[in-house]
Structure 1
Amino acid sequence: MATIFYARVSTADQNIEHQQAQAETAGFKIDRVVADHGVSGVSTLFAERPNGKRLFDILREGDTLLVRWVDRLGRNYSDVRDTIQEFMRRGVVVRTVINGLTFDGATKDPMQQAVRDALIGFLAATAQANAEAIKEAQRSGIAHAKAKDGETKYRGRKPSFTRDQFATVCNMLDLSTGVGEIAAATGLSRQTIYRIRDDRAAAEATLASWAA
């Protein structure tokens, strides 16, 4: 029984090695890493990604599919929900590094199935909602940065976080995760997380002004 770690990065500043290191720090033993580079979780379905579709051939019954968070599978509600359900149907256990969630299709108890499926649906919907919120923050941030650029060329201090870290912080904040846990997961200071929490548009504007 193998544990396959799947990572997806959509931009140059996102880092697969960071995702893997985070999983290993959390205590997961990884047998193999499969990754997709430069792939959007919004516009490209999981089964249409070069290595996403390979996992349906690689993973066997009893294996574990490990991801940092469900948004690595995608940011489309139906796609994420259907992907997790299909892996469970095949006897594959799906686990997340963040919050240590486990989705296992072995249970036959209808109440447990209902709770599990409701959680999958909620997390899939959250992944899509976060993507839409980040996109809106990007639009606001770019507009803000352009407005300031019209006034002055001063961009301020370079952001202390990457776009990948920004997205992770937003995801975990939306799940009411504690600031300490977010700091441990992202490597950011509590002060940085508080700044992002209190004004996401400003944080996005900082990234946009530095073309991050």
Structure 2
Amino acid sequence: MTKERKLYYGRISTTDGQSIASQVEDAKAHCVSEKDTFIDEGVSGYHVAPLDRPQWAKVEHDLRHGGVLVVRWLDRISRRYDELHATMRRLMDMGVRVECTLNGMAFDGSEADPIQKAMRDAVLAFMAAQGESDYRNRREMQTRGIAIAKAEGKYTGRQRTHDYEAIKAWRAEHGASISRTAEHFGVGTATVKRACAVG
């Protein structure tokens, strides 16, 4: 009997407050090997559709015959109701079981009982709606806060959390790759790319 394929998918945007390392550890904690861990970095879950992300495309390809997909939460897949619903529908149709590490919830595409399927789909619809609603509410509050700060002359723009010059200088001095530089500074590769692009 062939062992069921088990993959982990992670995604971080520049505002998530999470790191690749935390999601890699989450994958390990749930017995997913490094070669079966896929993470899209610096990608918005609201503005970039799942199939437009390189790592997610690999996930769907590898799970086309079924298997288990482990995610921290459904918002890693998408923060848009319609996109999350459509993506989960594709996964369900392929017989994929999606497991969320945040609270142990699972959405099983191989479920055959009509009542269980209805309950699964109802919970999924609610969680998809909540994900988009939470994102919109946070964005609205952020926009209002910035507008108030600007009106009061207190807004100075988003502050860098890393010293771009130091990152760029270290990489040049050591002839290091982007990934090695990212590892040295404990940042993502997107941060190193931005630092190197600073003129």
TM-score, normalised via structure 2 length: 0.68
Unmatched 5+ residue regions in structure 1?
154-212
Aligned to 1:10: 13
Q: Deviations over 1:43-73 (max 9, x none)?
A: 2111121111121211254521111111100
| Residues 56-135 of structure 1 mapped to structure 2, 5 A cutoff | 56-135=60-139
Q: Contact 2:149/2:155 (CA < 8 Å) preserved in 1?
A: no
Describe the SS at the equivalent of 2:18. coil
Q: In 2 relative to 1, CA 74–146 (structure 1 residues): closer, same or farther, beyond 3 Å?
A: same
Q: Contact 1:91/1:106 (CA < 8 Å) preserved in 2?
A: yes
Q: Distance in 2 between matches of 1:23 and 1:34?
A: 10
Letter in 2 for 1:29: C
Unmatched 5+ residue regions in structure 2?
157-199
Question: Share of identical aligned residues, percent?
Answer: 37
Aligned to 1:30: 32
Q: Contact 2:146/2:155 (CA < 8 Å) preserved in 1?
A: no
Q: In 2 relative to 1, CA 144–21 (structure 1 residues): closer, same or farther, beyond 3 Å?
A: farther
Q: CA deviation at 1:123?
A: 0.7
What number of residue pairs does the alignment pair up?
150
Q: Contact 2:10/2:71 (CA < 8 Å) preserved in 1?
A: yes
Q: Distance in 2 between matches of 1:5 and 1:99?
A: 16
Q: Distance in 2 between matches of 1:11 and 1:78?
A: 23
Q: CA deviation at 1:147?
A: 4.4
Q: Contact 2:27/2:37 (CA < 8 Å) preserved in 1?
A: no
Q: CA deviation at 1:141?
A: 2.4
Q: Distance in 2 between matches of 1:14 and 1:75?
A: 16
Aligned to 1:138: 142
Describe the SS at the equivalent of 1:113. helix
Q: Distance in 1 between matches of 2:94 and 2:66?
A: 9
Q: Distance in 2 between matches of 1:38 and 1:107?
A: 34
Q: Distance in 1 between matches of 2:8 and 2:148?
A: 38
Of residues 40-49 and 70-79 in structure 1, the stretch that sits farther from structure 2 once superposed is 40-49
Letter in 2 for 1:30: V
Q: Contact 1:23/1:97 (CA < 8 Å) preserved in 2?
A: no
Q: Distance in 2 between matches of 1:49 and 1:20?
A: 18
Q: Deviations over 1:92-148 (max 9, x none)?
A: 110111111111122221111111001111111111111101111211222243345
Match of 1:46 among 50, 61, 66: 50
| Residues 134-173 of structure 1 mapped to structure 2, 5 A cutoff | 134-148=138-152, 150=153
Q: Distance in 1 between matches of 2:125 and 2:107?
A: 12
Q: Deviations over 1:128-174 (max 9, x none)?
A: 111101111211222243345x2699xxxxxxxxxxxxxxxxxxxxx
